[in-house]
Amino acid sequence: MQSTFMVIAVLAGSLFTFSACNQDNVPLQPGLPYQSSFQAGSDGWSAGITDFGKAQENSMEFKAAWKGLPAPLDTTRKSLMLSSMNRSDDAFMFIKKKVVGLQPNKEYKLVFTIELASQYGENSIGIGGSPGSSVFLKAGASVVEPVSVLKDDFYSLNLDKGAQNNDGKDAIRLGNIATTDDKEGYSLITRTNADKPFSVTTNDKGELWLLIGTDSGFEGLTTLYYSKVNVLFQ
């Protein structure tokens, strides 16, 4: 089936998500890591944004697309691009995917290795915080699908991802999105939790939802490109 990509608005939560029709919920092969490199499509991942007030939903400028990496990187390599303006000083942009074929009711230790393109230096300065060192990459999993919910005119995630640089029950921090130097232009960075595996237990069908996202303390525009996601189930 030919991959398709689209950007849609989910009105009950004012989220924008992308989706593709290829490789949705493919059973995992026992003993092998799960990997998405996005060269043929989104691989069943979808995207959203949360942690902002209802009054701000039309000004977050959230976009998601399947597209080539930005120059000066190899623009023929595909990726998942997420971009938003952090009007709330707390925006959480995320991607999620349901995985099946795991052992039912089994505790797994997950090691994420995530490659993404960033242009924000470690010493960069911005409103509210650094565009690089104040935007934190998180990853986790749950048997519950991650969705944005509205309560008291504020959209928040239905899972515990932790606040900004703090870990939560359903996601932990892998580091920030800062590049190793402060020169202009995108470069690829890799983050992993190899030294701190994330524990989660599947449901009685052997299913989990994977969650990856950025918790931002920078009050400005952030545009990132996820180029590879590897998850080792131990």
Q: pLDDT tens-digit profile of 59-78?
A: 899 999 999 999 999 999 99
The per-residue pLDDT for 3 is 33
Q: Answer whether 188's CB lies under 8 Å from 73's CB.
A: yes
CATH hierarchy code of domain 6-233: 2.60.120
Mean pLDDT of 97-102: 94
Q: Is the dihedral of CA 198, 203, 204, 207 positive or negative?
A: negative
Domain residue spans in the chain? 6-233
State the pTM of this model: 0.88
Summarised one tens digit per residue, pLDDT across range 150-194 is 999 999 999 999 988 899 999 999 999 899 877 778 999 999 999
Check residue 21 and give its pLDDT.
40
DSSP assignment of 116-180 equals EEE--BTT---SSS-TTTTEEEEEEEESSPP-EEEETTEEEESS---STTS--SSEEEEEE--BS
pLDDT digits (tens, 9 = 90+) for 223-234: 999 999 999 999
